[in-house]
Structure 1
């Protein structure tokens, strides 16, 4: 339930998203009750990282270069903030013409395994982002966004949220997940180069 709330709060923090209340059944679900089988992700494990990229001293708004942001159609000035739900330094940016929004959050107090824990109420699949283990995460009921979680260091991960910012023809969630992966790839490329 904690992860569902994390995603709801992250989506709300980006603005322009509706936050749907949890159903009565999920509000009364105790932490000892297993998650529904449609959202259980406990069988997943992350492969080892090729190396460590610590995030403690990284500014989330300077990870993507101006050229990278232009290639991703994210042309507004990056806006820093603190994501209180993830307890992470974060940065959001938008595409003026594309209407798409990306958020980068640097989580340094918990590993990416959070998203595949027993409490995770999402669907996740293991992917690779520039050789680093990662998760593509979808939350039931929130089909206007997609997250990619990149395991970069022990107890630290890059959270990329990509969403539709209100385009005339909303993007399918598969396309949003591809967008999140493209942003994650650009970010890891930049972090690997020492930006």
Structure 2
């Protein structure tokens, strides 16, 4: 493996950027916060990344202790990548970066790629303080679930929640985008009827009563 480039500065921020500052690395972490992913799935959900760059970043992440690769048992027999505890520790970094970047989103452009689960981290931020539990989210673009309060990956996943969710949220793309931009809070969206809440778990009740 090639030697990792360094800023050669005795500063924790510089050292952190030595590890995660390369293009695509933090977005790979975003995808792996959903749990183990195959290389082909990562490539499909990172539009614009070349196969060579993705492979290189994954090797770097393995070397730096952010991710591991393992082979699934039969009948899967495929390799998957998953975050280590150190890699999972980047969740608050991504959340802070996402909050800082809310004002950069603007209106969605026709050329902007989108995946339903890219709204998972903004919705996790919106749910802070509302309680812990599994939340199923239904969007026009697809369905995913959040594991609110999870301390390690996975913190979200594609498709319905495993088992009965504590709450189910139904919303349109415009509302999801407004939440991601920080223009709308989740309680306000619920009160305005822009987010439907179903379920009898404590989290669902807290959202309906907020």
* Structure ID, larger Rg: 2
Into which bin does the TM-score normalised by the smaller protein fall? Answer: under 0.3
The two structures have a TM-score, normalised by structure 1, of 0.26
Q: Compare the two structures and name the one with the higher helix fraction.
A: 2
> Which of 1 and 2 has higher RCO (CA within 8 Å, sep 6+)?
1
